Amino acid sequence: MDYTTLTLSTRAKHPPEMVPAASLYHTLQALSDKRRKQGKRYELALVLSLIVLAKLAGQQTLSGATDWIRHHGVPLAQRFGLRRQQMPCQMTYCNVLAMVDSKHLDELLSAFFIRWEAQARCGEQSSRLLIPSLQTNHAHVAVDGKALRATSNEVHPVHQLSCYEMATGIVLWHCNVQEKENEISALKPLLAPSWVSGRILTLDALHTQRDLCAQIHRLRGDYLLIAKDNQPTLQEDIADLFEDAFPDRRRWKQAETWDKGHGRLEHRQLLSSPDLNDWFRKDWEGIEQVFRLERTTRILKTGKLRHEVVYGLSSLSMSKAPPQRMLQLARDHWAIENRLHHRRDVTLGEDRCQTRTGSVPSLLAQLNSAVLSLMDRLGVRNVARQMRYLNAHVDQALDLILLGQCSVY
C-alpha cells in the first residue's frame, strides 16, 4: 500500500512504496552509489546508517562518531550481519559522504518519513489520507536558510535552504546556495507542483518578491509573506491602510492570543483586510488579504517589554484563513528555527562540527535533519535526553534504524 502523500520523483532501484515504511536502513539501500566496485568494503547504506546511529547516541563530530562506532563494533557487526567487526576510519566516512547524491538522498528520506507518518495516523485505511481535515493539517510548509557556521572561514561558506513540513517535522528537501547566488535565485528553480500545489508556504521577508508570489499562485499554492525594508513601498502602503485615522472597517477582521511560558507573557494581535486587493493585484498575483501583526512580550522576571509591529500579505482568502488561523500560521513558521535549525545547532552540535571537506558538511546537515525527523516520529519531547538513553542502549538505537521502533525515555 502506498502511503505517500507527496509526489516525489526518485531514481531508486525500487519504487518508494516497496521499501519497508519503518526501516531507514532498507530505505538507504535504494540510494544510488557512485563508487567503483574495486576496493569498496562497506556498502553505502551501512556507512550512512552508522553515522546516523552515532548521531542518535549524541556524537556531534565525525571524529567522535568514528570512535563511537569502533567502540561498539561487535554489536553493530552482529546486527548488520557483517563478516568482520572492523569499522570504517574517519577518512572512509568523508570519502563516502563526498560521493553521495544529496538530491537523491533527500527524495528517499522525505518519501520514507512521509510514508511512515501517514501509516501511523491512517493504518491500513488508506482512504483516510483523502479526508480534507487531514490534508489541511499537513498543508503548511516553511522555507528558510541556515549558514553552517563551522564553514564560515572557507572561501564560500555553506548556506543551506530547507523546506520543513510543520505538522510532521519532515524536511522535504535541502538545497545549498551556490557561489554568486542568493536564497531568492536558489529557491526559484526548486518551486514545483509536487510540493507547492495545495500547500501554504511561509518564508522570510527576504522572499517577499513579486515573481515568487506569481510562481506559487500559478502552481496552485498559497503564500503568507512579511513586508519589510526590502519592499518599502509595499510596507508603507499596508501600514497607511491600518493607520488611517478614519478607516472603513466593515470588512476588517481581528483576532488576538495570550501565551505564557518560558518566563514570558506574549500578546499577539492580528488585523486583516481585503481592501487593498484590487490595488495590489496587478503586481502581487493571487493576493487576497493584507494584515497587521502586533506582538508585545513581557519578560516576567524583569518586567521588560518588547514591542514589534509587522505587515504582510497572503493569497489565502479571509474565509479560508480568518485572523485566528493567520496568527497560527505566522507563529508556526518559527518552528523551522526552533525545532529544526536550533536543535541542529545546539543539540546536535552542527555549528561546532569542523568537518569542511567539499560537500560533506551539507550531507552531515541532511543526516542531522533525518535524526530529528526520527525523534519526531517517535514522539520524543526531549531530544538530548533520548540521545543519552540511546547511547546507553545501543540495541534500542539499532532497533530504530532497522525496525523503526525503540523505547522512548
The C-alpha torsion from 105 through 106 and 108 to 112, rounded to 10°, is 130
Q: Are residues 130 and 58 in the same domain?
A: yes
Q: Is the pLDDT of residue 16 over 60?
A: no
Q: Structural domain of residue 319, as residue ranges?
A: 208-338
Helix (H, G, I), strand (E, B) or coil at 163: strand
Tell me the one-letter amino acid at 228: K
Among residues 305, 338, 371, the one where a domain terminates is 338
For 209-243, the pLDDT digits (tens) are 999 999 999 999 999 999 999 999 999 999 999 99
Any domain includes 183: no
- Split at pLDDT 50, 70, 90, the class of 178 is confident
All three cell numbers of 25, joined, read 536502513
All three cell numbers of 46, joined, read 551501512
For 267-281, the pLDDT digits (tens) are 999 999 999 999 999
User: Can you give the pLDDT at residue 67?
Assistant: 97
CB 180 within 8 A of CB 205: no
Q: What integer is the mean pLDDT of 57-74?
A: 96
- Split at pLDDT 50, 70, 90, the class of 8 is very low
**Candidate from 8-12, 193-197, 216-220 with smallest mean pLDDT:** 8-12
Q: Is the pLDDT of residue 18 over 60?
A: no
Q: Is the pLDDT of residue 20 over 80?
A: no
pTM of the model: 0.87
Q: Are residues 360 and 294 in the same domain?
A: no
Distance between CA 370 and CA 382 in Å, rounded? 16
Q: Is the pLDDT of residue 9 over 50?
A: no
Q: Is the pLDDT of residue 63 over 60?
A: yes
User: Mean pLDDT score of the chain, rounded to an integer?
Assistant: 88
Nearest to 156 by CA among 177, 135, 129, 132: 177
Any domain includes 367: yes
Q: Are residues 223 and 322 in the same domain?
A: yes
Any domain includes 160: no
Q: Are residues 28 and 60 in the same domain?
A: yes
Q: Are residues 314 and 391 in the same domain?
A: no
- Split at pLDDT 50, 70, 90, the class of 157 is confident
User: Can you give the pLDDT at residue 155?
Assistant: 60
Q: What is the DSSP letter of 302?
A: T
Q: Are residues 391 and 363 in the same domain?
A: yes
Any domain includes 53: yes
Domain count of the fold of the chain: 2
Distance between CA 341 and CA 335 in Å, rounded? 9
Q: Are residues 291 and 372 in the same domain?
A: no
Nearest to 296 by CA among 339, 251, 266, 318: 266
Q: Are residues 306 and 223 in the same domain?
A: yes
**Candidate from 112-126, 240-254, 330-344 with smallest mean pLDDT:** 112-126
Distance between CA 357 and CA 96 in Å, rounded? 11
Q: What integer is the mean pLDDT of 277-289?
A: 96
Q: Are residues 221 and 308 in the same domain?
A: yes
